[in-house]
Amino acid sequence: MGFGRPLKRRCQSTAQYRCHPAVEYSKLSDNAFFVKTATYLLQTLKVDAVVIGEFDEVDVGVILSNSVMATKDGVKDFVYNIADTPCQNVVFKRTPCYWSGDAQQQFPRDLFLKHTGFNSYYGHPLLDTNGQAIGLMVLLAYHPFDDISRIQKVMSLAAANAQSELQRHRTAQALAYRLRIQKALAVISGHSVKADAATFGQIQDSLRVLSEAMDVDRSFIYERQGEELLLTHEYTSNCVTKHPALRRLTISSFPIDLTPVLRGETIHVDNLSWEEVSRRLKCEEAVRQLLLARQFVLAPIVEAGNVTGFVGCECNSPTRFFAKEDLEAWSMFGVTLGFIGERNRFNSQLERAQQDADTASAAKTDFVAKVSHELRTPLNGIIGFSDLLLSQDLTSEQRQYVATTKACGEVLLRVINDIISFGQMEAGDIPIDKCPFDVQTALREVGDMLCSAAKLKGLQVSFVTDDNVPPLINSDKTRICQVLMHLGNNAIKFTDEGKVEFRVRVSPLATMR
């Protein structure tokens, strides 16, 4: 993307103009070449004053600004309105013109000549590569010129050098302006990609960076909420916010017709009228503040194909002109804000979905735990009464039926205990109840619970305990038995013949895997 040269703003103070402080570096008096050239012409051609100036890019051929004027008293900045002056003829004809000894008579409305007393004028236009006037080189004298032929030759050579230097100067300004805008857009892009969700401060900083790079008076971001417009961010060059009436508006009360913006177009407005603004905005003070702005740029913020707001800026200077590239920069900012909004909305939806999933998982775990506890009570009763029946006098067939019932109940009870344990694991809540227990007793209980399943497959279950295993250990007996039950059930499940053997030994913690 290319950017035009930074345009200057001008404020009037009595009959004199000055450059806006933001672009004072562009003044020709800071350029040693122009100062040296003016001084050289003053001394070589024996005239009373030399002016080398550049035209305002907006008021081309009207305001000669960013200029120097060399006299016997030195070199100083010079600004000149060329209307009704000899300079206007030079610009119009684009050729050198001179009036020797009768300049005041030829241009009686030129107050500068009248007040200074200069009566001889020689002007040479400075042209760009397209032949358009971009500046002037002027000789002034109180008396008629002595040698016009010599003046013409010297001025022709000096003007050629000045034209080249002026174009180089403007190119440097354009590159500097382009670099400022690119840096601003880089900062904005950085804010949009670094964080998971851009904060209010990051968006405000992005607005400030772009506004300062373009030297605008005010910039703003409005969020669209149905037919309402809410001012969410604002930057002003003088740190003075606008009237409170501008903070919450409607589409119909906004001082500019937003129809093109709501269609997704970036617009440039430079002809606000009191009647139109007053009709839309009823607050007279807010209208007065808005009409200080001579130009507006508005760019839409689009999220998922819908215009959710807009970003814009305003400038109070009558000589500030927004180029196509400036509009593109604000349009890019609007696109970035749309991307940030879509990402923030996606992150919010993802967070809500995660919260919903966590809630559903917690509800499922709670339900399973409650149901499992309810099932465990009658199962314990079945197993208990099975033990009572086995203590009675039963036939071998009856005893086999009761034993099988008890074994099945114990298997189902283990399944329910596992379900409860899994639910506690999902919830991240697995209580560990440490207390001393007898190792051999725990192993016998595990063996008794595994025997029924092992006998059905014709397998044996045995435990081999090393001599160094202590009789008592301090741990959670229930959890250890659950682990052994899982290992034993898996071993029985995948073993077709032979036996399942547990080896119990003591190992240092450093060697455990």
What is the Cα–Cα distance from 47 to 340, expressed in whole angstroms? Answer: 63
* Stretch among 58-62, 293-297, 462-466 having the lowest mean pLDDT: 58-62
- Is the pLDDT reported for residue 278 higher than 90? no
Residue 96, token pair as written in the block? 């050198």
Name beta bridge partners: 499: 460
Q: Which residues contact 83 (CB under 8 A, 6 or more apart)?
A: 62
Class of 10-178 in CATH: alpha beta
Q: Which residues contact 156 (CB under 8 A, 6 or more apart)?
A: 96, 124
What is the Cα–Cα distance from 315 to 311, expressed in whole angstroms? Answer: 14
What is the pLDDT at residue 281? 67
What is the pLDDT at residue 44? 92
Residue 344, token pair as written in the block? 């923030």
Mean pLDDT, the chain, rounded, equals 79
Note the CATH architecture for domain 431-513: 2-Layer Sandwich (3.30)
Name beta bridge partners: 52: 68, 137
- Is the pLDDT reported for residue 45 higher than 90? yes
pTM score over 0.85? no
Element (DSSP H or E) covering residue 96: none
pLDDT tens sequence across 78-97: 777 787 888 888 888 889 99
What is the band of 20 on the pLDDT scale with cuts at 50, 70, 90?
very low
Domain locations in the chain as residue ranges? 10-178, 182-347, 431-513
What is the Cα–Cα distance from 121 to 151, expressed in whole angstroms? Answer: 11
- Is the pLDDT reported for residue 480 higher than 60? yes
Superfamily of the domain at 182-347 = GAF domain (3.30.450.40)
| Under 8 Å between Cβ of 500 and 450 | yes
- Do domains 10-178 and 182-347 share one topology? The answer is yes
What is the band of 29 on the pLDDT scale with cuts at 50, 70, 90?
very low
CA dist 423 → 306, 403, 431, 463, 477 (Å): 44, 30, 12, 30, 19
pLDDT tens sequence across 130-168: 888 888 899 999 999 989 999 999 999 999 988 888 888
Q: Which residue has the higher pLDDT, 321 or 68?
A: 68
Highest mean pLDDT among 77-91, 310-324, 455-469: 455-469
- Is the pLDDT reported for residue 11 higher than 50? no
- Give the relative orientation of helices 396-426 and 477-493 as an angle to the nearest 10 degrees: 120
What is the Cα–Cα distance from 196 to 189, expressed in whole angstroms? Answer: 13
The separation between CA 451 and the C-alpha centre of its own chain, rounded to angstroms, equals: 68
- Is the pLDDT reported for residue 250 higher than 90? no
Q: By C-alpha distance, which of 6, 8, 9, 5 is closest to 292?
A: 9
- Is the pLDDT reported for residue 513 higher than 60? no
What is the pLDDT at residue 97? 93
